[in-house]
Structure 1
Amino acid sequence: MTDPSLTTRHVPADLPERIQHYIDGEFVDSVDGDTFDVLEPVSNEVYLQAASGKVADIHRAVQAAKRAFAEGPWPRMIARERSRILHRIADIVESRDRRLAELESFDSGLPISQALGQARRAAENFRFFADLIVAQSDDTFKVPGRQINYVNRKPIGVAGLITPWNTPFMLESWKLGPALATGNTVVLKPAEFTPLSASLWPGIFEEAGLPVGVFNLVNGFGEEGYAGDSLVRHPDVPLISFTGESRTGQIIFGNAAPHLKGLSMELGGKSPAVVFADADLDAAIDATIFGVFSLNGERCTAGSRILVQREVYDEFVERYAAQAKRVKVGYPHDPATEVGALVHPEHFEKVMSYVELGKTEGRLVAGGGRPEGFEFGNFVAPTVFADVPPTARIFQEEIFGPVVAITPFDTDDEALALANDTKYGLAAYIWTNDLKRAHNFAQAVEAGMVWLNSNNVRDLRTPFGGVKASGLGHEGGYRSIDFYTDQQAVHITLGKVHNPSFGKAAPAETATDLDDPDPR
């Protein structure tokens, strides 16, 4: 049988055949000349070669970034000057949003309409941090007649940024924006599955006027001896920001420990969506469908465990399954597509293995395999399992695909216990019209972020991050500024200085007469 995707798929014009690293203002091959294949998700055909970075390539990039930090103008610019360049970056991204979305959709399998939204969000990330660094004020503490204390924020140095493949361009901007805004230089290691859109950053930054050496990009894998691991271990990289799965986060934590690096890690999730009997079921079904099937289910905050109170459980499952069956699976370039192709055949096999496992652990009510008409490529039908026990692996483990588990509960206490019964704690969604219940539940659920009667709509000023196995630290708003800067306390004494006399005769003084030294 001939793969129909080879004739019906959309291939963007002017695709590169090869992607290089970008180091110190130049596109370069790997030191050893090594490359790796990049596949297109609809056909799984190799469509380009990317330079495969290793220890030597990371070292070249880090040295360029270190030199730009020590000798270049970027860390010494006033905030307004950096802000102007960041706004120019946002302008350029916005002006190319459709081209970016086209490449992102082709490379990752995301539906084109959703990829376009991600490109526009990338521009907004730069605008947000461009405005924030101009508007921010640092703390000052006054002791009248005695002392003034103020906080001096300083960029730290070379920031290592390691980004995932699910919404690559947007998530790169989420790290690049604050890292650059605060005056750091960077080395970006994009995901090996999706290097295409990242290869556009050098041209965008050059056009915007970012100084040479401030941004560097090394493609490649994450394993020991390759780009990701080498970046984490490099002694001249004091900061690592990572988004990815929890096991990789544990490895990064251990490898960064010898240098006591600053770490910000947004890791895996198995987020609950809790639907109480008094909820608006129409809104809850619409939002939970979107929350698990948008972005092809490859969403860290996906509400992939839906807990439903027993009074409305049967109705919810029936309606949810019927709507899931109507979700449009299609080629990523089609504007009507709601679920496209998973990113890579390895990930497709992983998700399909969970689908088969789910058939032994729950009751299949929608999907359960390839959608009709898509015998080739990485397509998975939106899949819904009901009556899933909390001991099931599809209840406990992150699948990162268009697969959802629905479980009934009776009481508020049971719902809370089920919601907290995983190692993850990234997000939670609560659906109820009881305001007291909503707030009490939000306070008790083990999640870094909670949405009440809402899908995943964020304010960029709020902290983003998880608890338990879902992450370390928070970014977003001033939390990002905190992570990418050192905070130095400066103390200025006013008037007469009362110092303790050690080793010479002095009038007796009481402790209250002295500037109280911190005993720590």
Structure 2
Amino acid sequence: MTRTYEEWKAAAAGLAFDGRPVIGGVRMDSRSGRTVEKVNPATGQVISQVHEGNAEDVDAAVSAARRAFDAGEWSRAGVSFRRERLLELANLMEAHADELALYDTLDMGKPIRESSSIDAPGSAALFRFYAEAIEKHEDLIPVTAPGSTAMVTREPLGVIGVIVPWNYPLEILTWKVAPAIAAGNAVVVKPPMEAPHSALFLAELAMKAGIPAGVLNVITGRGSVVGEAMGRHGDIDMLAFTGSTGVAKQLQVYAGESNMKRLALEAGGKSSNVVFADCDDLELAAEKAAFGSFYNQGEVCSANSRVLVERSVYEKFLGYFHEASRNFTPGDPLDPESGTGSLVSAAHADGVWAAIEGARAQGTVVAGGVRSEINGSRAFIEPTIVTDVPADHELHTREIFGPVAVVAPFDTEEEAVRRANETPFGLAASLWTGSLARAHRVSQLLTAGTVSVNTVDALGFTTPFGGFKQSGFGRDLSVHALDNYTDFKTTWIQWG
């Protein structure tokens, strides 16, 4: 049943918050004894006290995970056992979907309409996907010489570290934790300090689902402390990360300086959306461009915020794009009618606003460019469209991570491809064309982990998601994500 604005506000008022880490299945205070006020960015009000973990907390969590893995109750259990427990966790997540959605909305400002209808139920469904997938992941008996038999089995790696960003706190957590524990590993998660509560609640639900204590541990703390401790920890076998390219590079250093742990890094992006004049529906392309630029307040690593439009339809597209941007007017995140919510913090909004002001000085703001105050908070920015900035302007080159799109014309297909690829990133790209030949030709030339044709930012459970170049390596989603958390073992038996 869809809730009204008043009903969501009442549910939010009754929500319980507990900012303590979960280690070995137990809520406990951090070793430092320090806490940080967690503020709802849409109101500026303090909603909880989040414990600030340190390296000792990481040691405790890793030890709990190692004990759980070595005990074998999870890691060596049959896949049918793990399947049943993961399906029960998915059921519990669905039963508590409104709470999970509220935690993310109140923590980081995303609209409750999206967190309750997409993020929370989608995360539960992804646990169900991996619960079913592990029973269909086959081992191998390759051909060997007579008198011998070789078995090739997929083995869990052991203790997995997971570092999650604040823009999709529950969803991206699920992208990594679900395949990691489905494969038999034990996990230590560092959620974002800006949005930790859905991860902490998920750890409690995992215990209720019968997943053994220590298989899923959650440590709150700053990246500079907890994240570095995880990156350097000698008993973490593999680390999965989504976040900035700068931090991803630092994690590579930590891994090299410690135990050479494996890494799967989904880093920054600055995705292009190329619109050719021969696209079948220019108005639809503009509507999807607005979605690709402004959804989730523009706080999306794969946001298609560089829009390149063939010159002959450039002005017409801009008119449609401006009109479509109105669908993303910000409002109270608890109001199901709001187009978008607040940015994750007033400080982050300051940074996005500075980028807009810089663009105003060098280009033209054709829509938006307004910072609003709602419920006493100034973490709200209108969807903003900028044109006429130089090709080397930061709107073309830097991940702004806010509701800002830059639009530029092109004249030839070759120019469009060159400009689309003029970025150190390679996470995603989109293109619009009515020509099947051009769709195949240009998608092959675009350097991106996902190329969406006649749509934007397409993904699904069955398709891998990740990037090229400085957008990182490794893939989330699909059965291929299991490759991050397992490796092949060959057992050769000589019997003749």
Query: For this structure pair, what is the TM-score category when the shorter chain's length is used for normalisation?
Result: over 0.9
CA drift at 1:329: 1.7
Task: Tell me the alpha carbon deviations over residues 299-354 of structure 1, each in whole angstroms, 9 at most, x when there is no partner.
Answer: 11110000000010011112211321353321000111121100112211111111
> Cα–Cα, structure 1 residues 375 and 324, in superposed 2: closer, same or farther, change >3 Å?
farther
Corresponding letter in the other structure for 2:133: L
Given the alignment of the two structures, is residue 135 of structure 1 paired with residue 156 of structure 2, yes or no?
no
- Give the superposition deviation at 1:478: 2.8
Determine the structure 1 residue equivalent to 2:286: 285
The code of the aligned residue for 2:240 comes to S
**What's 1:233 paired with?**
232
Residue type at the aligned position of 1:54: N
Deviation at 1:428, TM superposition (A): 0.4
- Taking a change above 3 Å as real, the CA distance of residues 53 and 414 of structure 1, as seen in their structure-2 partners, is same
Q: Give yes or no for contact 1:296–1:340 (8 Å, CA) kept in 2.
A: yes
Q: What residue number does 1:399 align with? A: 400
Asked if structure 1 preserves the Cα contact closer than 8 Å seen for 2:20 and 2:28, the reply is yes
Q: Which residue of 2 aligns with 1:382?
A: 383
- Match of 1:255, as an amino acid? Y
Structure 1 residues 209-231: Cα deviation after superposition (integer angstroms, max 9, x where no partner): 011111111101011xx211111
- Residues 441-489 of structure 1, C-alpha deviation per residue, up to 9 Å, x if partnerless? 1111111111111123323222211011111222322322111112112
Q: In the alignment, what sits opposite 1:251? A: 250
Q: What letter corresponds to residue 342 of structure 1 in structure 2?
A: L
Corresponding residue for residue 165 of structure 2:
164
| Residue range with higher mean Cα deviation, 480-489 or 363-372 | 363-372
- Tell whether the 8 Å contact from 1:317 to 1:386 is kept in structure 2 after alignment: no
Residue 201 of structure 2 is matched in structure 1 by 200
Question: Contact between 1:125 and 1:173, CA under 8 Å: does it hold in 2?
Answer: yes
* Structure 1: segments with no counterpart, 5+ residues: 1-7, 496-520
- In the alignment, the residues of structure 1 paired with residue 126 and residue 274 of structure 2 have an alpha-carbon distance, to the nearest angstrom, of 30
Q: Is the 8 A contact 2:240 2:265 kept in 1?
A: yes
Deviations 1:107-146 (A, max 9, x none): 1100111111100110011011101101111233214746
Alpha carbons 2:43, 2:374 under 8 Å: kept:
no
- Are positions 1:275 and 2:275 aligned together? yes
**Equivalents in 2 of 1:150, 1:278: separation in Å?**
53
Local SS of the residue matching 2:369: coil
Instruction: Check the 8 A contact 1:355/1:368 in 2, yes or no.
Output: yes
CA contact (8 A) 2:331 2:374 kept: no
Partner of 1:50: 50
Contact 2:277–2:433, Cα closer than 8 Å, also in 1:
yes
Q: Where does residue 299 of structure 1 map in the other structure?
A: 300
Q: Which residue of 2 aligns with 1:338?
A: 339
Check 1:374–1:19 CA distance in 2 against 1; reply closer, same or farther (3 A cut): closer
Q: Residue 188 of structure 1: CA displacement?
A: 0.6
Counting only pairs closer than 5 Å after superposition, residues 40-439 of structure 1 correspond to structure 2 as 40-116=40-116, 117-143=118-144, 145=146, 147-223=148-224, 226-258=225-257, 259-279=259-279, 280-371=281-372, 376-439=377-440
Q: 1:375 to 1:276 in 2, by over 3 A?
A: farther
CA distance in 2 between counterparts of 1:202 and 1:294 reads 28
- Paired residues, number: 486
Asked if the contact 2:332/2:374 (under 8 Å) is kept, the reply is no
Question: How far 1:271 moved relative to its partner?
Answer: 0.2
**In 2, distance between residues paired with 1:149 and 1:360?**
67
State the one-letter code of the partner of 1:398.
Answer: E
Q: 1:446 to 1:457 in 2, by over 3 A?
A: closer
What pairs up with 1:494-513 in 2 under 5 angstroms?
Answer: 495=496
CA distance in 1 between partners of 2:52 and 2:374 (Å):
36
Partners of 1:120 and 1:25 in 2: CA distance? 24
Q: Which amino acid aligns with 1:244?
A: G
Partner AA of 2:468 in structure 1: V
Moved more, 363-372 or 332-341: 363-372
Q: What secondary structure is seen at the aligned counterpart in 2 of 1:481?
A: helix
CA–CA separation in structure 1 for the residues paired with 2:492 and 2:363: 63
Q: How far apart, in 1, do the equivalents of 2:374 and 2:32 lie?
A: 43
Matched-pair contact (CA < 8 Å) for 1:429–1:452: yes
Which amino acid letter does the alignment assign opposite residue 341 of structure 1?
Answer: S
Q: Does the CA-based 8 Å contact 2:371-2:378 persist in structure 1?
A: no
Following TM superposition, by how much is the alpha carbon of 1:11 offset from its aligned partner in structure 2, in angstroms?
A: 7.3
Aligned-pair CA distance for 1:369: 2.2
Alpha-carbon distance in 2 for matches of 1:369, 1:397: 21
- Cα deviation for residue 153 of structure 1 reads 1.2
Following superposition, the deviation at residue 99 of structure 1 comes to 2.2
The CA deviation at 1:493 is 4.3
Counterpart of 1:150, as a letter, is M
Greater CA drift, 386-395 or 292-301: 386-395
Aligned identity (percent) is: 37
**Could you tell me how far apart the structure 2 residues matched to 1:332 and 1:10 are?**
14
Moved over 4 A (4+): 8-11, 372-375
In structure 2, how many angstroms separate the alpha carbons of the residues matched to 1:65 and 1:43? 37
SS at match of 2:379: coil
Which letter does structure 1 place at the counterpart of 2:87? H
Alignment TM-score, normalising by the size of structure 2: 0.94
Distance in 2 (alpha carbons) for counterparts of 1:146 and 1:317: 71
The 1:18–1:326 alpha-carbon spacing in structure 2 relative to 1, beyond 3 Å, is closer
Q: Contact (CA 8 Å) 1:270, 1:304: kept in 2 or not? A: yes
Could you tell me whether the CA contact under 8 Å between 2:327 and 2:339 is conserved in 1? no
Q: What code does the residue aligned with 2:76 have? A: R
The answer as to whether partners of 1:151 and 1:487 remain within 8 angstroms in 2 is yes
SS of 1:459 mapped into structure 2 = coil
CA distances 1:60-102 after superposition (whole Å, capped 9, x unpaired):
1111111111124010101111011000011111111122212
Structure 2 CA distance for partners of 1:326 and 1:236, relative to 1, 3 Å: closer
Counterparts of 1:376 and 1:14, CA distance in 2: 22
Q: Any conservation in 2 of the 1:10–1:333 contact (CA below 8 Å)?
A: no
Give the conservation status (yes or no) of the 8 Å contact 2:374–2:380.
no
Distance, in Å, in 2 between the alignment partners of 1:115 and 1:326 is 17
For the Cα contact (< 8 Å) 2:15–2:99, is it kept in 1? Answer: no
Residue 27 of structure 2 is matched in structure 1 by: 27
1:153 and 1:486 in contact (8 A); partners too: yes
Which piece of structure 1 moves more, 405-414 or 147-156? 147-156
